[in-house]
A and B are shown apart, each in its own frame.
Chain A
Amino acid sequence: MSDTIVTETPVLKSAAPAAPAAASAAPATSANLPMAKALNAGLRQAMLDNPKVLMMGEDIGPLGGVFRVTEGLHAEFGDKRVLDTPLAESGIVGTAIGLALRGYRPVCEIQFDGFVFPGFDQITSQLSRMRNRHEGQVTMPVVIRIPYGGHIGSIEHHQESPEAYFAHTPGLRVVSPSNPHDAYWMMQEAIASDDPIIFFEPKSRYWPKGEVRFGASGIPLHASRVVRAGTDVTIVGHGAMVTVLVQAAELAAVEGISIEVVDLRSISPIDYGPILTSVEKTGHLVVAQEAYGFVSVGSEIAATVTERSFYHLEAPVLRVSGFDTPFPPAAVETHFLPSPDRVLEAVDRSLAY
């Protein structure tokens, strides 16, 4: 029997506007928002809290970004705090580094996952190492927001999951929320961090609504969490994959298989506590990700859990990943992306050991 600790199903609390108006006498304490609006509310709150917080990116000003995540911020904060930049990702990240050296806290939007690579050198050779190179004399409070992942039926370079490149890079932190509420508070925590953070936003989850509770969460940014309790198999994922995992767990429950779902929230560092506790209970672990499986976050988790919980495992750790091919044409993406059925195929294999 599974026991839902935190449901992924949104709970309607109020029809409050996306961001509580500053002038409102009694701001709503919660709202039912899509993730894009929750991120917007988190960005806005961070800008209100700290005048050094800046937004930078392509089309993020009057347009509000191609996904409208920065909608309204330019109108509210002006073009000194919301910078529409030239179309050059290395330029965005490189100038953000200079602004951070100057004491600003830039939040950079990369328009799509596949467009981060022109900025890859500045992220991995400069941003991630600045503090280390300066022997701790500078901080790099820069957030790089990247809408990522498939399920949206788009063209090449618009559905990628490049998180492993960044998780492999010392000096970076990498996080990815799976639901609107986490998106709201994790964005604020990321901006408040003195380390550079790559913030992967699951773009297929931008529009489903969920309850967002305003105010401080009290949760550490890198804490993973058990989304759904279970006893037979542990399944782990992040971002949009968490929704798939919960669906898989619901399907399995019908067949009498009790699955525990862990939402990583953070890919670097990984909070192994809840994962190991769960594996010690279930003895079975399946890791799911949209990214290519070879040399991936899933590989890393499989290796680490094997090292730390070897005697608790009753089966090898199995990975369910995108195939090691370029992200395919959208017409066949459902065969590429891990589905609840593919997750359950791995669950069955694990239980068969």
Chain B
Amino acid sequence: MAALENDSPLVQVLSTSGLVEPSEAAAEFMPYLDRLTEDDLRRFYRDMVVVRRFDKEAANLQRQGQLALWVPSHGQEAAQVGSAYATRPQDHVFPSYREHVVGMIRGLDLVDILRMLRGVTLGGWTPEEHGNFHLYTLVLASQTLHATGYAMGMQLDGTTATGNPETDEAVIVYYGDGASSQGDANEALVFAASYQTPQVFFLQNNHWAISVPVTRQSRTPLYLRAGGFGMPGTQVDGNDVLASYAVTAKHLDDARAGKGPALIEAMTYRVGAHTTADDPTKYRDPEELAAWVAKDPIVRFRAYLQGLGVEQDFLDSVDEEAEDHAADVRRRALEIRSPERSVIFDNVYAEPHPLIQEQKAWLDRYEASFEGGDA
């Protein structure tokens, strides 16, 4: 292990204190940072701060009984913001269930995510109308295959690898270190490699699958698995938003250019609980947590921006915007209405189905049979 650490494969641009100190492995990715303007950098910071505050608000809503469950993303903001900004409008994004800010960057109203967690829908949004950000998938790694099939469809349609990066399509799919053990994740890598799909597998290694550490999932660094499937693998500092952006931009653009799929392992940490139903104090070493908190992605990027001379007014205005956004989310979350009971039966099938029709009619009659019951 010592040899691995000395010969670090990690792509890192920013030091933990926010200085530009690219690792050796970062060299080939550095040109992609030239695409970024200062406005982009400010947007990165703003989105990370806004989503962390949103995360806290959503957890509070759950504690107050307003959500069935919350799935925090605290600590993983840089991996998500960097990779999301590396997508192009025509790309399709297949999330797992913790990629809130990716959705936001693709145009999703975060309240739509809360609708699912408030128990009023099993989905929450229409991907085509929200930046091709597909629905959350709760069975781990199932979405990796959907993403691969979708990318195969792009190939069949001839809408990728034409040589025009402004229109050529690609897919990015998010999953985690726990999901990496699932058969589906491995089958998706097999299919992607076989068909050379225009696709990036973005694996957030947040080190914990509920209570089970990543060491139980894999004896080898996860990015190294890519080679076994026949595709490039890159390990990136997932708490470094610039490195996350650059690595994803390169692999996505390679994918859309017809160079096939790639696997990115973003090293990050689930600072919060798995969900609001979890208690990480029962299984996690507080020193490990403290060490990762010291590598906080927002603190690091704020130091970097300050080094660039970004004014305090901007940083303060972002905090204010995050507060306003959280308050707005809370207000609108509480206004989410429950659906009509007909939602039980609607859309199970596209075409008429006698059993469903009979049961829907029966429930209507049953409800109407009570005094004051609605028909």
Residues on A close to B: CB < 8 A? 54, 80, 85-86, 88, 90-91, 93-104, 118, 121-122, 125-126, 129, 131-137, 139-140, 170-171, 173, 193-195, 269, 271
Nearest Cβ in chain B — how far from A87, in angstroms? 9
Give the chain B neighbours of A80 by CB distance below 8 A.
Answer: 156
Nearest Cβ in chain A — how far from B229, in angstroms? 11
Q: Does B217 contact A (CB under 8 A)?
A: no
Given A133-B122, A171-B349: A126 in contact with B149 (beta carbons within 8 A): no
> Can you list 11 A-B contacts (CB < 8 A)?
A90-B187, A91-B145, A95-B149, A98-B146, A102-B153, A102-B156, A103-B153, A126-B142, A131-B348, A134-B135, A269-B353
Residue from B121, B145, B153, B355 within 8 A of A94 (CB atoms): B145
How many angstroms from the CA of A1 to the CA of B318 in the assembled complex? 87
Nearest Cβ in chain A — how far from B36, in angstroms? 31
Given A85-B191, A122-B184, A134-B126: A94 in contact with B349 (beta carbons within 8 A): no
Nearest Cβ in chain A — how far from B350, in angstroms? 4
Query: Could you count the A-B residue pairs with CB atoms below 8 Å apart for me: how many are there?
Result: 131
Q: Does B273 contact A (CB under 8 A)?
A: no
Nearest Cβ in chain B — how far from A85, in angstroms? 7
Nearest Cβ in chain B — how far from A107, in angstroms? 14
Q: Does B190 contact A (CB under 8 A)?
A: yes
Among A121, A125, A135, residue most surrounded by chain B Cβ atoms (within 10 Å): A135
In contact, A94 and B150 (Cβ under 8 angstroms) = no
Taking CB as reference atom, which chain B residue is nearest A136? B347
Q: Does B58 contact A (CB under 8 A)?
A: no
How many angstroms from the CA of A63 to the CA of B350 in the assembled complex? 34
In contact, A195 and B350 (Cβ under 8 angstroms) = yes
Give the chain B neighbours of A91 by CB distance below 8 A.
Answer: 145, 148, 184, 187-188, 190-191
Nearest Cβ in chain B — how far from A194, in angstroms? 4
Give the chain A neighbours of B346 by CB distance below 8 A.
Answer: 135-136
In contact, B142 and A121 (Cβ under 8 angstroms) = yes
Give 1 or 0 for each of B87-126: 1 = CB within 8 Å of chain A CB.
Answer: 0000000000000000000000000000000000111001
Give the chain A neighbours of B1 by CB distance below 8 A.
Answer: none
Residue from B147, B157, B183, B343 within 8 A of A98 (CB atoms): B147
In contact, B149 and A132 (Cβ under 8 angstroms) = no
Q: Does B139 contact A (CB under 8 A)?
A: yes
Give the chain A neighbours of B156 by CB distance below 8 A.
Answer: 54, 80, 99, 102, 104
Taking CB as reference atom, which chain B residue is nearest A104? B153
In contact, A122 and B157 (Cβ under 8 angstroms) = no
Q: Interface extent on B, as a size class?
A: 35 or more
In contact, B149 and A99 (Cβ under 8 angstroms) = yes
How many angstroms from the CA of A126 to the CA of B151 in the assembled complex? 18
Given A121-B139, A194-B351, A195-B349: A86 in contact with B187 (beta carbons within 8 A): yes
Q: Does B152 contact A (CB under 8 A)?
A: yes
Q: Does B154 contact A (CB under 8 A)?
A: yes
Taking CB as reference atom, which chain A residue is nearest B192? A95
Give the chain A neighbours of B122 by CB distance below 8 A.
Answer: 129, 132-133
Q: Does B354 contact A (CB under 8 A)?
A: yes
In contact, B149 and A97 (Cβ under 8 angstroms) = yes
Nearest Cβ in chain B — how far from A60, in angstroms? 15
Nearest Cβ in chain B — how far from A20, in angstroms? 27
Residue from A85, A98, A118, A137 within 8 A of B150 (CB atoms): A98
Nearest Cβ in chain B — how far from A131, in angstroms? 6
Give 1 or 0 for each of B174-213: 1 = CB within 8 Å of chain A CB.
Answer: 0000000001100110110010000000000000000000
DSSP class of B's interface residues: helix, strand, loop or mixed? helix
Residues on B close to A: CB < 8 A? 121-123, 126, 128, 134-135, 137, 139, 142, 144-154, 156-157, 183-184, 187-188, 190-191, 194, 343, 346-351, 353-355
In contact, B184 and A94 (Cβ under 8 angstroms) = yes
Taking CB as reference atom, which chain B residue is nearest A98? B149
Residue from B191, B347, B351 within 8 A of A132 (CB atoms): B347
How many angstroms from the CA of A54 to the CA of B155 in the assembled complex? 14
In contact, A102 and B347 (Cβ under 8 angstroms) = no
Given A102-B157, A132-B122, A136-B347: A88 in contact with B149 (beta carbons within 8 A): no
Nearest Cβ in chain B — how far from A198, in angstroms? 14
In contact, A126 and B350 (Cβ under 8 angstroms) = no
Given A131-B348, A132-B348, A195-B350: A98 in contact with B151 (beta carbons within 8 A): yes
How many angstroms from the CA of A54 to the CA of B157 in the assembled complex? 13
Given A122-B142, A131-B350, A195-B349: A98 in contact with B148 (beta carbons within 8 A): yes
In contact, A135 and B354 (Cβ under 8 angstroms) = no
Give the chain B neighbours of A133 by CB distance below 8 A.
Answer: 122-123, 135
Given A134-B123, A135-B123, A136-B347: A269 in contact with B188 (beta carbons within 8 A): no
Nearest Cβ in chain A — how far from B330, in angstroms? 24
How many angstroms from the CA of A140 to the CA of B348 in the assembled complex? 11
Nearest Cβ in chain B — how far from A322, in angstroms? 25
Nearest Cβ in chain A — how far from B173, in angstroms? 10
Nearest Cβ in chain B — how far from A162, in angstroms? 19
16 additional A-B pairs beyond A86-B190, A99-B156, A171-B349, beta carbons within 8 Å, are: A85-B194, A88-B191, A91-B184, A94-B188, A95-B191, A98-B146, A98-B153, A118-B183, A121-B184, A122-B145, A133-B122, A134-B126, A135-B121, A135-B347, A170-B348, A173-B353
Nearest Cβ in chain A — how far from B27, in angstroms? 35
Nearest Cβ in chain B — how far from A172, in angstroms? 9
Given A91-B145, A121-B142, A195-B350: A137 in contact with B184 (beta carbons within 8 A): no
